Amino acid sequence: MTRRAVVTGASSGIGEATVRALRATGWDVVGVARRADRLAALEAETGAAAYAADLTRQADVDALAAWLAETGPVHALVNVAGGARGTDRVEDGDPEDWRWMFEVNVLSAQMLVAALLPQLRAAAAVDGHADTLFVTSTAAQRAYPGGGGYNAAKAGESMLAEALRLELNGEPIRVVEVAPGMVYTEEFTFNRLGGDRAAAEKVYDGVAQPLVASDVADVIVYAMNAPGHVNLDLVTMRPVAQSAQHLLARGPLRPRLPGE
């Protein structure tokens, strides 16, 4: 049996890497994002189906659900889409930035769950189990100065996942949360800092091996390919150089020698 996954945020970063990793392990994949040109290139390269949509719009979510129902079962929803805007203090935050972060990180996830849960249940009834997986962030677990809007949005998404897991108790539908720390991707920090490439690169300056998108995708695929009775409730992952949200080593990592 071939299982089919819907992966959001598929046009770049962790979402794109997840599409590639799932296809490599035999999944059928529908990659969803706004940028149709990037999805088309990914479709040509990997064989994943492409579906362009703005998942903050109910009409687009409903159209996606209808298209999926016509084209095959849905065994998994992998919600990667999200993002951050700005690093302002709470008192200086732009309400439009905060509203956007809540829409792309929380409301879109809720709309997708509501729209696709009937199809996930139908697939689980036939094939034994189904999956929902949410990529949140360590920002959901610990606040930091300048992160208030993103902290709040990702904490909201994390609570959505936790509530959903409780609400689905007794059903064979897994609810997995993967919370990465520092991940180097081409767009996340660049977009957060308003397109300032130099400022974005400085965030990672001197950090020995930050996570990359494929590292997170590997964990996602592991969780989804685990036996159906095994649920990874929450996986927190960071580069070794980031011991905690506030503690980041810059420079080469080396063992501490005796006497140091």
Of 51, 150, 184, 204, catalytic: 150
For the chain, where are the alpha helices, taking DSSP H only?
A: 13-24, 36-46, 58-71, 95-102, 108-127, 148-167, 188-192, 197-203, 213-225
Contacts of 75 (CB under 8 A, 6+ apart): 3, 4, 5, 120, 123, 124, 127, 130, 131
Tell me if 12 sits within 8 A of 38, measured CB to CB: yes
Which are the contacts of 106, defined by CB distance < 8 A and separation ≥ 6?
A: 153, 156, 157, 160
Active site residue 51: no
Closest to 82 measured CA to CA, from 30, 145, 155: 155
Catalytic amino acids?
150
